[in-house]
Structure 1
Amino acid sequence: MSKEPVKKTCSMYRGQPSESAMSYSGFMVYKLAQYVQETFEEFFGDDPVKARHFLVLRVLAREGAMTQQQICNALWIDRATMVGVVQALLDLEYLKKRDNPEDKRSHLVSITAKGERFYERHVEEFEALDHKIFSGFQGDEMKAFRGMLRKAMAELQSR
């Protein structure tokens, strides 16, 4: 995985953002999300596994087998995108599918031993990167920030 510092691209930030733009919470969340996405994508470099794939591996490693629809719901990823993500992980032999005993119309997707090894090799470094991105928070600030993010996401779910 990439050990180089994240490049500051034009799409991320240059100089001081306009106070007019900064008056919108959405602008700040959008720019932060853009930075996080670019940082996570750079973490995997040329590896075919990217942040989306890694998050699928994480959910399956921690929560067990699921249908593709359950994975979509768990990660808020649309079905069309999920088909590609799962197929890429199947091709890498990081996932496997089997018949769903509860619903013959669907399959259960689970992580393989190879996928588990990949996940375990990278999880600590990925989590460290996540912590580094938010290293400016002190004390209970991160807990409060996560609480606000959860509240905003819950609001999205209620719409």
Structure 2
Amino acid sequence: MTSADQPSIPLSEHPAFLLGQLGFHVTHRFAAMLAPLGISPRHFGMLRLLSANDGQSQRQLCAVLSIHRNVMVGLVDELEKHGLVERRKHPTDRRAHAVHLLAAGHKVVAEAEEIVKSLDAEVLWSLDVDQRATLTRLLQQTSVGSGLTPGVHPGIRPAHRD
């Protein structure tokens, strides 16, 4: 019997397909939910990072996010234009700029966090609390096993490596 003679497995039986299907849906849904705040998912990722690491240099932020400095400059420029962050002289490195989250940025982060909770509830409504916890643990394990940095969305950087 050749592979052509074997019945094909439905795509809905392939975990990678299901993750891709759900990932596509969640990505677009999240972007649509953030749009009224005037930010995109990549902006949210950066703002969230700053809310936990305010005042870091652009170089330090690049290292955490594994992005090229040119990508960081553009991202900070966009957030500055929206009045969410500002660059200040770094207190210990005169060649560097520290990035600080402004009051408006803190407000947007808080609003976006509520959107994340709402999206989680929307997507996972059919699972009970234990199933949600199990799914989260399995996805964390799979993400780390795939070489992804915990808490950093790979979409924040360009598709190609600089």
**Alignment TM-score > 0.5, same fold:** yes
Distance apart, 1:91 and its partner CA: 0.8
| 1:110 partner SS | strand
Partner residue, 1:40: 30
Residue 47 (structure 1) shift: 5.0
Aligned residue in 2 for 1:27: 17
Query: Aligned partners of 2:28, 2:60: CA distance in 1, in Å?
Result: 26
Deviation, structure 1 residue 134: 1.7
> Which of 106, 111, 119 does residue 101 from structure 2 map onto?
111
Q: Which runs of 5+ in 1 are unaligned?
A: 1-17
Structure exhibiting the larger radius of gyration computed from Cα positions: 2
Shift of 1:94: 0.3
In the alignment, the residues of structure 2 paired with residue 39 and residue 94 of structure 1 have an alpha-carbon distance, to the nearest angstrom, of: 23
Give the AA of the match of 1:92: H
Q: Secondary structure at the match of 1:64?
A: coil
CA RMSD of aligned residues (A): 2.7
Residue 37 of structure 1 and its aligned partner are, at CA, apart by 0.5
Tell me the equivalent position of 2:81. Answer: 91
Give 1:62 deviation, angstroms: 3.1
Cα distance per residue 1:81-119 (max 9 Å; x no partner): 443322110111101112334544432212111211222
- Tell me how far apart the structure 2 counterparts of residues 47 and 70 of structure 1 sit (CA, whole Å): 26
- TM-score w.r.t. length of structure 1: 0.71
- The one-letter code of the counterpart of 1:50 is S
Unaligned stretches of 5+ residues in structure 2 = 1-7, 149-162
Tell me if 1:151 matches 2:141.
yes
Deviation at 1:78, TM superposition (A): 5.8
Aligned residue identity for 1:118: V
Q: TM-score, normalised by structure 2?
A: 0.70
1-structure distance, mates of 2:146, 2:12: 22
Residues 136 and 74 of structure 1, relative CA distance in 2, 3 Å threshold? farther
Structure 2 CA distance for partners of 1:122 and 1:150, relative to 1, 3 Å: closer
* Secondary structure of residue in 1 paired with 2:86: strand
Identity %: 25
Structure of higher RCO (CA pairs closer than 8 Å, 6+ residues apart): 2
User: How far 1:150 sits from its partner (Å)?
Assistant: 1.4
Which amino acid in 1 is paired with 2:118?
A
Quote the offset at 1:80 in angstroms. 4.8
Shift in Å at residue 45 of structure 1? 3.3
Deviation, 1:19, is: 4.3
Q: 2:48 matched to which residue of 1? A: 58
**TM superposition shift of 1:70:** 4.1
